[in-house]
Amino acid sequence: MKIGNFDLTANHVYIIAELSANHNGSLQHAIDTIKAAKEIGADAIKLQTYTADTLTLECDREDFIIKGGTLWDGKTLYELYKEAYTPWEWHEELFAYARGIGIDIFSSPFDKTAVDFLEQFDPSAYKIASFEITDHELIRYAASKGRPMIISTGIATIGEIQDAVDICRSEGNNDIVLLKCTSAYPAPLEEANLKMIPNLAETFGVVTGFSDHTLGSTAPVVATALGAKVIEKHFILDKSIGGADADFSMDKEEFAQMVQAVRNAEKLLGKVDYSMTEKKRKSRLFSRSLYVAEDIKKGEIFTEKNIRSVRPGYGMHPKYLKDILGKKAKNDIEMGTSLHWSLIEW
C-alpha cells in the first residue's frame, strides 16, 4: 500500500505533521510551517478542510457550549471552529508550495463539500478525524474517490470501526489505515493503550498507525516498536504563535527530535535475520573455542586439565570437547595452540 510515493510495506514509518489550527489565521505561518516540516524530516503535512458552518450550528444553547475540562471550555463550537479553520482559499497555494518543496500533502475533509473541494488538488489520501468516524456518508463518499483512507479511531466502538472499514471496502477501497488515537488534548499516557496498534491490524486486516495527542516523543517511539506504519502529530512552528491547538503541539525542535527518535527506533527494530554477517564472523573471534591449556606430549590423553574452552575463537567449537576427551595427541602440542582435528589421533 502506498500513500503518494511512500510505500507503507517498507521498513519506514510515514510521519505526518498535522497543521490543524497552528497557522493561527496567518497564511505565511502556514507556509513557514510546511517548510519547517520538510526541513525536519516529516513525510507529509496534513490540513483540515472545514468551516464553522460545515461542522456545527451558530448557536449558544447549552448543547453547543464546550465543557468537560478541555482547553476550550466556555466557547461555543461555532466560535472554536471559526477561530481554528484553515481558509479554503489558502488550499491551492498550500498544496502547490508543499509539492514544490517535495513534501506530501493531504487533508481531513469534514463533509462532502470538502471532499469535492479537495478533489481538484489530487490529494494523496483522505484522513477521517476521530469524531467523524460515525459519519457513514462522509466515509463512503471519501472512500469512493479511490484514495487511501486514514481513519482515526479515538471515540469509536469496535463495531463502529468495523462499520468504517466495511464502508470503505464496499466502495472497492481496500487501502485503509486505522490510527489508534486517544481523543483527549493532551492525552494522558495511561490512556494511550498502544497495544491496540497490533490488535487493530490483526482484527481488521489493515495497516495501522498512531495519531498522537500525548506530550513528548515516548508514545510515537513505542508505537513504532509495536508496528505502527503511520505516526501523526500536531506540529506548530513556534508555540508563541498561539492558537487553539498550540498547547498540545510539538514545536520545530521537539518534532525534529521525535522524527529522529522514530527513525532510530526503525533502525533498532531492523529485521529478522539469523544469517552470519561479516560483523558476526569477526566478533566470533572473541568467542570461546578449544585450546591446549598445557604442553602435551605425543600419545598423551586429552583431559579437562590440558584441553579447555577459552577465548579466543580460532579453535574447534566447544561442543566437541566431550568427543575429544580420552583421545590421544597425534604429536607434541604446545600450550596455547588452538585445537583442530588434525592434532587428534583416531
pLDDT of residue 331 exceeding 80: yes
Q: What is the pTM of this model?
A: 0.88
pLDDT of residue 225: 97
**More confident: 191 or 68:** 191
* Portion of the chain with pLDDT greater than 90, in percent: 90
> CB within 8 A of 32, min separation 6: which ones?
237
As a whole number, mean pLDDT of residues 156-176 equals 98
Q: Kindly state the average pLDDT of the residues 297-304.
A: 98
pLDDT at residue 195 in the model: 97
Which CATH number is 278-345 given?
3.90.1210.10
What number is the average pLDDT over the span 282-302? 96
List CB contacts of 282: < 8 A, sequence separation 6 or more. none
Mean pLDDT of 195-221: 97
Nearest CA to 48 out of 127, 112, 124 is that of 127
Mean model confidence pLDDT for the chain? 95
CA dihedral of residues 225, 227, 229, 232 (deg, nearest 10): -60
User: Picking from 181-190, 229-238, 251-260, which range would have the lowest pLDDT averaged per residue?
Assistant: 181-190
In tens, the pLDDT along 235-287 reads: 999 888 887 788 889 999 999 999 999 999 999 999 899 999 899 999 999 99
162-166: long-range contacts (C-beta < 8 A, 24 or more apart)?
Answer: 162/204, 163/136, 164/128, 164/133, 164/136, 164/139, 165/204, 165/206
pLDDT for 302: 98
pLDDT at 242: 83
pLDDT (0 to 100) of residue 256: 97
Query: Mean pLDDT across the stretch 186-194?
Result: 93
Of 32, 2, 1, the C-alpha closest to 17 is 32
Tell me the pLDDT band of 98, cut-offs 50, 70 and 90: very high
**For every residue of 269-313, which 3-state class applies, written as one string?**
HCCCCCCCCHHHHHHHCCCCEEEECCCECCCCECCCCCEEEECCC
pLDDT at residue 104, rounded to an integer: 98
For 43-95, what is each residue's pLDDT tens digit?
999 999 999 999 999 999 999 999 987 778 999 999 999 989 999 999 999 99
Q: Output the CATH code of domain 2-50+85-269.
A: 3.20.20.70
Which alpha helices (H) appear in 171-251, and where do they start and end? 196-204, 218-225
- Average the pLDDT over 93-105 and give the result: 98
Sequence letter at residue 44: A
Percent of the chain with pLDDT over 70: 100
Average pLDDT score over residue span 18-42: 96
One fold for 2-50+85-269 and 278-345 = no
**Distance, CA of 296 to CA of 283 (rounded, Å):** 29
What are the extents of the domains in the chain? 2-50+85-269, 278-345
- At 200, give phi and psi (nearest 5°): -60, -40
Cell of residue 103, nine digits = 513534501
Reference 233, options 216, 243, 241, 83; nearest CA is 216
Query: How far apart are alpha carbons 104 and 241 in whole angstroms?
Result: 24
pLDDT at position 103: 98
